[in-house]
């Protein structure tokens, strides 16, 4: 981060960020260690592997699945995942009859403790605008073809309530361990734009 | 507040672009903007609703033509100046110093 590392002039946005951060540090309003710790947590420690463990547990433990669908926040916290942007979690279950998909039409609300930070496409105008008006079309672009009789439910997240999809367990995974099942679970399936395969 | 941020159902926003193996951050400045998120809130100058409101007030062209973490940066700058944590003059002076030093 030393300025000597730069071989090109800083962009306007880079200058703005450096100016703001250095002023806030100088005034003692923020602490460098706290900034670095937050970056490290969400870049290296928290991500969709957390959500995958929740999903795998729900697949192998019917009582846990029941708790997860009844009180998502508490059931997710059982596995140690909680905190900001996940204070009130609602988990919605995909079945052959119902397919759920998540969006935040107003901005970028997303369940950080279980999925980490959202990908750019989730925060982008094209996804946010279109997934509510043409969800089947959007799903098709992600390679997900739904049967015409399958009901599609689109959940619009808010800063108060964050949703997560419990994907369908793929066929042919009956004998697999919880750990092996977790390895099958992807971020996109927990957003609901894709289905899982064994 | 009704505005361009309220995108649900709006037509003509173009194709959804998915980046394979997308990194968590695309540039060091994005890391810094994200990293300031909780430390700035901890200062107590504003809450999450004010942050989003500041983004919603950016104006449609700016909102659609700037990236996600630029929205956050805009809100930090706007609210911290409005609330008196820093002044616009201090910010402008520091930007000029950094621009000269890096030029």
Q: What chain A residue is nearest to B18 in terms of C-alpha separation?
A: A121
A39: closest CA of chain B, how far (Å)? 5
Statement: residue A187 has pLDDT above 80: yes
Contacts of B40 by beta carbon, 8 Å cutoff, 6+ apart: A24, A29, A30, B76, B80
CA distance B4 to B15: 18
- Please indicate whether, in this complex, the C-beta atoms of B98 and A10 are within 8 angstroms of each other: yes
- What percentage of chain B has pLDDT greater than the value 70? 97
* Phi, psi dihedrals of residue A165, rounded to the nearest 5°: -90, 135
Candidates B6, B39, B64; nearest CB to A34: B39
Distance of alpha carbon A19 from the chain centroid: 31
Mean pLDDT score of chain B? 93
CA distance B54 to A172: 50
* Per CATH, domain B28-102 is 3.30.1130.10: no
- pLDDT at position A171 is 95
Q: What chain B residue is nearest to A24 in terms of C-alpha separation?
A: B86
Residues of chain B with Cβ-Cβ distance to A13 below 8 Å are 29, 70, 73
Q: Which residues of A are marked as active site?
A: 104, 107-109
Q: Which two tokens stand for residue A84?
A: 């900001």
Angle at B25 between CA B22 and CA B26, to 5 degrees: 80
Candidates B7, B35, B39; nearest CB to A128: B7
Statement: residue A6 has pLDDT above 70: no
List of domains in chain A: 10-44 (no CATH), 47-191 (3.90.330.10)
Angle at B57 between CA A84 and CA B55, to 5 degrees: 25
Chain A segment 163-192 residues within 8 A of B by beta carbon are none
ipTM: 0.94
pLDDT, mean of residues B30-55: 94
| Selected residue of B3, B4, B5, B7 to mutate for chain A interface (largest A Cβ count, 10 A) | B7
- Residue A56: closest CA among A195, A170, A191, A194: A170
**Between A and B, how many CB-CB pairs are < 8 A?**
160
- The predicted-structure confidence for A163-176, as pLDDT tens digits, reads as follows 999 999 999 999 99
- The predicted-structure confidence for B80-89, as pLDDT tens digits, reads as follows 999 999 999 9
- pLDDT at position A120 is 97
CA distance B8 to A150: 22
- The predicted-structure confidence for A75-119, as pLDDT tens digits, reads as follows 999 999 998 888 899 999 999 999 999 999 998 999 999 999 999
- The predicted-structure confidence for A114-165, as pLDDT tens digits, reads as follows 999 999 999 999 999 999 999 999 999 999 999 999 999 999 998 889 999 9
Statement: residue B2 has pLDDT above 90: no
- pLDDT at position B102 is 61
Q: What chain B residue is nearest to A20 in terms of C-alpha separation?
A: B91
**Residue carrying structure tokens 């590392």:** A5
- pLDDT at position A83 is 86
| Helix pair angle (B68-82, B88-102), 10° resolution | 130
Candidates A21, A22, A132; nearest CB to B8: A132
A147 CB near a chain B CB, below 8 Å?
Answer: no
Chain A segment 76-135 residues within 8 A of B by beta carbon are 84, 103, 105-108, 116-117, 119-121, 123-130, 132-133
Going from N- to C-terminal start, the domains of chain B cover: 28-102
B98: closest CA of chain A, how far (Å)? 6
| Selected residue of B2, B3, B8 to mutate for chain A interface (largest A Cβ count, 10 A) | B8
Confidence of residue A198 (pLDDT cuts 50, 70, 90): confident
Contact (CB, 8 A) for B88 and B78: no
Residues of chain A with Cβ-Cβ distance to B70 below 8 Å are 13
User: DSSP state, A3?
Assistant: G
Contacts of A87 by beta carbon, 8 Å cutoff, 6+ apart: A73
- The predicted-structure confidence for A43-76, as pLDDT tens digits, reads as follows 999 999 999 999 999 999 999 999 999 999 999 9
- Please indicate whether, in this complex, the C-beta atoms of B35 and A36 are within 8 angstroms of each other: yes
């Amino acid at each position: 981060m030393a300025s000597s590392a730069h071989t090109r002039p800083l962009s306007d946005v880079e200058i703005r960020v450096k100016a703001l951060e250095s002023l806030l540090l100088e005034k003692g309003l923020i602490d460098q260690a706290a900034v670095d710790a937050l970056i490290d947590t969400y870049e290296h420690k928290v991500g969709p592997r957390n959500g995958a463990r929740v999903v795998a547990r729900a697949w192998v433990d019917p009582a846990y699945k029941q708790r997860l669908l009844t009180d998502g926040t508490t059931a997710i916290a059982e596995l140690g995942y909680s905190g900001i942007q996940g204070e009130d979690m609602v988990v919605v279950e995909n079945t052959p009859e119902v397919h759920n998909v998540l969006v935040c039409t107003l901005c970028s609300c997303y369940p950080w403790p279980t999925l980490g930070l959202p990908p750019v496409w989730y925060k982008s105008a094209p996804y946010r605008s279109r997934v509510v008006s043409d969800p089947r079309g959007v799903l098709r672009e992600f390679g997900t073809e739904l049967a015409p009789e399958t009901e599609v439910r689109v959940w619009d997240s808010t800063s108060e309530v964050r949703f997560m999809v419990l994907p369908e367990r793929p066929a042919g995974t009956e004998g697999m361990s919880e750990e092996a099942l977790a390895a099958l679970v992807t971020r996109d399936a927990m957003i609901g734009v894709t289905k899982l395969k064994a | 507040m009704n505005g361009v941020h309220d995108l649900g159902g709006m037509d003509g926003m173009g194709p959804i672009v998915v980046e394979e193996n997308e990194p968590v951050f695309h540039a060091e400045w994005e890391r810094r903007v994200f990293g300031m998120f909780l430390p700035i809130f901890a200062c107590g100058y504003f809450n999450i609703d004010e942050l989003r409101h500041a983004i919603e007030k950016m104006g449609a062209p700016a909102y659609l033509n700037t990236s996600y973490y630029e929205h956050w940066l805009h809100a930090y700058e706007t609210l911290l100046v409005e609330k008196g944590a820093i002044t616009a003059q201090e910010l402008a002076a520091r930007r000029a110093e950094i621009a000269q030093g890096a030029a």
